[in-house]
Structure 1
């Protein structure tokens, strides 16, 4: 086992509080009895692409949808599974950092052990490279204890991942066969899930018993692929009292199409919907207190608890730029530049100097005019 992976960690007070949270399982996944009903065959979102997809995935496309139900559900055609033989499952982190990856492993381990204590969960160390090289770590409750509800992928690590080429697919197939895996869970983003779908098709074509499952980390709660999440507390309050805890600026904008050409009608403009910010609140006060430290130590600093330790901890995944707050000092600096221009560009200066000054000042005034114009103004294009 690589020394950087799976080692117990010292947790901060905040991390200790986060580790105490116990996610709630839906009723259909509670207990040891599995009730499943197989429904209609899977279809393409766009019917016109069904033929193309079925040709590319002849072994996996059109499989029936599985509906899991709670134990008390009264469905006559439901299949009840009470016997759970011991199985071996592998899990690998792929793609970019995303919240919830460690909790996927936590839930997977709990489910395996609840249904059969003799089941085994193997984590591949170092992402897909570890899968190809068959570098594994058996995940246990003790190993997972300090990673529950914590961000990052540092329990197992990751690399610049893809499982796409013939050589990579064959290496993954050999690993699953050699380790006698019943299942392989690939945790990542959209690209990783695409690779998982193709890998599942290849395994089925070659009659490999390993079943491949792709999972997007926190795909239900995360907004797109931006890695940010909005946290809203106390949902019982009226909507006008909600406060935005953390959200990307793109999630606050509405962008519509523009009309083009002479006489075209403007169909919409980007609109920024402001969120209320308490400038006297604790969060803003904390930022002001640490602003000088951020500025002196590093212009860019990662403010979020995405990953504290392990591989990738030094990467600045999210950037926070704290600017100089000397507003009047910048005004004086601008006036100094303008005075210098006046001293250079005056009667008797060369034509080249005059042309350069005109071109530069025209560009500056155009940009400033657009930036200072009201949002109801017409679009420059």
Structure 2
């Protein structure tokens, strides 16, 4: 048996979905590429592990899980006589596999701290375009699907919508690793109810309860995990420590840092706009930031040192999720107290209040559509059979406040 056939038979044992098969040689080679292997060293849920110690899973696992669910979805749709060519199948599998390629250290926690004016979707696209050159144009269709430019809209919706393979995997996976059972879903049931009507992804009417359970699970995961006040404080400290490190670097301080992290601490104006900057980004992962913070604990700068110690030693201040912001007067009074107590000029690193907003379901943004037996299609909250969707459209707003 030659190496080509051996690679085609490779399987991965995932604790969430079971055995994941790698469908072909091209996808195997993409997974083996250093750009994708970097995702092993990017945490899926930032510093959520400070509250849920089991939540140490990686973007690598998540991406493979998404591909696995996409394989299931494609098989269901083809069985329902939806026309999907082999080239389209390969394209959408690659698109979902690489959808998170642009995540930096600790995922969303530092998304706008290390690199300004770019989000992970934009960086993912840049890296996909580089891979397309490397693989002689074989990712062209995947990129078109990822960008939403391909004629079959439902393929893009499987990658990115309010009921996509990405969300189905991260809810099931994050629930599994955090141990928060309220977030657990049954993606196989939802996928089995998928269909296509007028070129759009729809859910057959008998799948409404499963979809509403999915939306409820997403709400519970936000309130119990993603918006948890303690892990949110830890992530705010992580953002603050990078901000302080950049300020000190700007003043001429030479901080301990890997060459990749040092490049971005200097806030190089080129950032990732050049091929060099983008390449340096691909060498950056959690370990760069974590090793730097471990060393910064012993720096002479009080702010940098204290923030670093608090993160490494998990000494996190009391924090609160409030219904309303505290008054400006009270907020400034608290900052003044911290300034005097710790003899610092800027207390914004330690006293913060942040508005957190999430909508479990937004019918105005990629609405979930229901297909009835008579062929009619309705948005789920107008279907007449939904029980919870109206409630799930309500925006959840919390004010996160902490002070040392």
Question: Shorter-chain TM-score: which interval?
Answer: under 0.3
Give the TM-score of the pair, scaled to structure 2: 0.21
Q: Larger relative CO (CA 8 A, sep 6+): 1 or 2?
A: 2
- Answer 1 or 2: which has greater helix percent: 2
Give the TM-score of the pair, scaled to structure 1: 0.22
